[in-house]
Amino acid sequence: MSGIALDGAKPAAKKATAKKAPAKKAAKTEGDDLTKLSGVGPVIVGKLSDAGITTFKQIAEWTAEDVAKFDEQLNFKGRIEREGWIEQAKELLKGE
């Protein structure tokens, strides 16, 4: 008499254990594709994102002080000016 309790009642159905899907990294939906800037790849995008920079507008508005700050903070070694990120960002904003 398997499946029947001694008192004649049917056994309680086992509750289905909900399996959680593996956690996925959140897709970045905010911001621009900064890899469109010459010299900017995924590693630099990550550094910029960590510093709160995610849009062309932010980069287009950088002052000389901002360039110096991010160059030092993110160890870009003059790359911002050398690659012309501010000018590129301004051009990309025009096309949007």
Number of domains in the chain: 1
Tell me whether residue 72 is in a domain. Answer: yes
Q: Are 56 and 91 in contact (CB under 8 A)?
A: no
Which string of DSSP letters, residue by residue, matches 16-54?
PPPPPPPP-PPP--SS--GGGSTT--HHHHHHHHHTT--
Tell me whether residue 23 is in a domain. Answer: no
> Which pLDDT value is given to residue 30?
79
Tell me whether residue 73 is in a domain. Answer: yes
Per run of 10 residues, the mean pLDDT along the chain (length 96 residues) is 58 54 46 96 96 97 96 92 96 90
Tell me whether residue 57 is in a domain. Answer: yes
d(CA 74, CA 90): 21
Q: Which token pair is 5?
A: 């309790």
Domain around 46: 34-94
* Exposure of 28 in the CB half-sphere (CA atoms within 13 A): 13
